[in-house]
Chain A
Amino acid sequence: MNILPGLESTSSALAAEKVRLDIIGQNIANAHTTRGLDGKPYARQMVSFESKLMEVGVKEDGSKIMTIGVQVKSIESDKTIGALVYNPTHPDADEKGYVRLPNVNLTHEMVDMIAASRSYEANLQVVRTAKQMAQQALRIGK
């Protein structure tokens, strides 16, 4: 019995958007980190999604019901080079007094964050609409 149809793929999308927001948070947190884990300035991380085939149930004749969901394919670093700023008092400045800043652009991250949040909202709207449809159908008898 599937009362709320199509929610498996929506649920996977919600999980994926959560990971995306997680990574955006990480980028914003490290927007000024001049010494990352490898000693170099922090490199901005990017999330990429891919489709995945999900089994959502079995039909009466024994065949599987499949749907296409989404999952995080990879989290990769942005290879662009960050700005070089002259600041001789900085602890991570080179011998000429220049500091390499991370390639995180706060404006880009904010835009990405809005996109992730809106996408999450859109998927939640699917959940809400599916629920409303079921409720409306249940009200037929009243």
Chain B
Amino acid sequence: MIEANSNIAAQQAFSQSMLSQLKGKDALQPQELQGLPSSDSGESFGNMIGNLVKEVDDKGKVASAETNKLLLGETDNIHQSMIAMQESGLAFTMLVEVRNKLVQSYQELMRMPV
């Protein structure tokens, strides 16, 4: 259980650092993208990814809170904590999958012969 908790904490730390990186990028984006046509929804891609990271982070926090409640004896529903942990793990895997795809696209672009 403690191991799982530390795992969640590591996930949180990772998603938080990703979040802060994305936030830093957001500040730069308007100047960089001035020449490009803006998207129809008015929501930048960075924002979209930022929201995803935030949701995944929230799931991690929920799992952490549930596990803490269980360990402190405030509740005796093991399944709630386990389900929350699994959900947070899956959400994190999805985030990593999205990140992998992004990096892959970037590398694909970099390999393009000029």
Contact = CB atoms under 8 A, between A and B. Distances in A.
Contacts of B44: none
Contacts of A18: 76-77
A26 to B, nearest CB: 15
Given A1-B91, A4-B86, A141-B97, A14 B79 contact: yes
Contacts of B87: 3-4, 7
A11 B83 contact: yes
B93 A138 contact: yes
Contacts of A7: 83, 87
Contacts of B100: 141
B55 A134 contact: no
Contacts of A1: 52, 55, 59, 91
Interface residues of A, number: 15
Task: Report the contact-size class of chain B (Cβ under 8 Å from the partner).
Answer: 10 to 19
Contacts of B52: 1
A119 interface: no
Contacts of B29: none
B81 to A, nearest CB: 11
Interface of B: 52, 55, 59, 76-77, 79-80, 83, 86-87, 90-91, 93-94, 97, 100-101
18 contacts: A1-B91, A3-B59, A3-B90, A3-B91, A3-B94, A4-B83, A11-B77, A14-B77, A14-B79, A15-B77, A15-B79, A15-B80, A18-B77, A124-B79, A127-B86, A135-B90, A135-B93, A138-B93
Given A11-B79, A14-B79, 9 more contacts: A1-B55, A3-B59, A3-B87, A11-B83, A18-B76, A131-B90, A134-B90, A138-B94, A141-B101
